[in-house]
Chain A
Amino acid sequence: ETGVTQTPRHLVMGMTNKKSLKCEQHLGHNAMYWYKQSAKKPLELMFVYSLEERVENNSVPSRFSPECPNSSHLFLHLHTLQPEDSALYLCASSHRQTQWGGYTFGSGTRLTVV
């Protein structure tokens, strides 16, 4: 365990379903991130939360909806997804003020949209 826990580890959902991914960290970090990792592509930054406030939304489709209720928890709500959304979704955390020290990643949720 890295200190960042993601659930579920695997998720299969239909295009009309609604599901949520959960991320939890107990490292005392104050910034949390959602990344998408697809085969043959670099990690794509989706959302950044700093001190529970969304500070970045990288042109992500509205079918992805993040939520950060406190500095330890981050959610990614999914609805009406497309097959091309199938990927590994990674959560990470860091100290926002000293992010140059690197991020701590969770193990990811492998999402398959059918």
Chain B
Amino acid sequence: EDQVTQSPEALRLQEGESSSLNCSYTVSGLRGLFWYRQDPGKGPEFLFTLYSAGEEKEKERLKATLTKKESFLHITAPKPEDSATYLCAVGGGGSQGNLIFGKGTKLSVKP
């Protein structure tokens, strides 16, 4: 069964304290791994797509990496405005082209 597991469920950081969020997945025939950011009361906002193991993408303080079993979202020197819930999703397998989402990691960055 296609599955996405994110950890930790919640993460509290001090401003400037770098860390990583994990997304492990089980899917036959990965067609893409997606990271989204979701602020309270809003819909998910697209951040990155990764298609193959070894691929990396960066945007400001965020860097996403992909292996054959998991993806990491590295946050370097985070700021309070990076506080949000980060969602991971995969496409492929039996999903018929639809995305399968994890439960998300809620990140809080304190000044």
| A69 interface residue per 8 A CB criterion | no
* Majority secondary structure, B binding face: strand
| B78 interface residue per 8 A CB criterion | no
Contact A100 B98 (CB under 8 A): no
CB-based A-B contact count at 8 angstroms: 57
Q: Considering the complex, which residues of chain B in the window 16-69 have a beta carbon less than 8 Å from any beta carbon of chain A?
A: 31-32, 34, 36, 41-46, 49, 51
Contact B43 A42 (CB under 8 A): no
Contact A107 B44 (CB under 8 A): no
Provide the bound-state CA to CA distance between A55 and B95, in Å. 12
Provide the bound-state CA to CA distance between A20 and B40, in Å. 23
| B111 interface residue per 8 A CB criterion | no
A contact residues around B49 at 8 Å (CB): 100-102
A contact residues around B96 at 8 Å (CB): 55-56
With A41-B103, A42-B4, A42-B102: A103-B46 Cβ-Cβ less than 8 Å: yes
| A96 interface residue per 8 A CB criterion | yes
User: How many residues of chain A have a CB within 8 Å of chain B?
Assistant: 26
**Minimum CB–CB distance for B84 against chain A, Å:** 14
| A113 interface residue per 8 A CB criterion | no
| B101 interface residue per 8 A CB criterion | yes
Provide the bound-state CA to CA distance between A33 and B100, in Å. 13
Contact B44 A105 (CB under 8 A): yes
Selected contact of A99 from candidates B41, B44, B97, CB within 8 Å:
B97
Contact A107 B46 (CB under 8 A): no
Contact B42 A103 (CB under 8 A): no
Contact A40 B103 (CB under 8 A): yes
Selected contact of B97 from candidates A41, A96, A108, A110, CB within 8 Å:
A96
Provide the bound-state CA to CA distance between A102 and B51, in Å. 12
A residues at B contact (CB < 8 Å) = 2, 4, 6, 33, 40-43, 45, 48, 55-56, 90, 92, 96, 99-108, 110
Give 7 pairs: A residue, B residue, CB < 8 Å, sorted on A.
A2-B43, A41-B103, A42-B4, A42-B100, A56-B98, A92-B43, A100-B91
B residues at A contact (CB < 8 Å) = 4, 31-32, 34, 36, 41-46, 49, 51, 87, 89, 91, 96-104
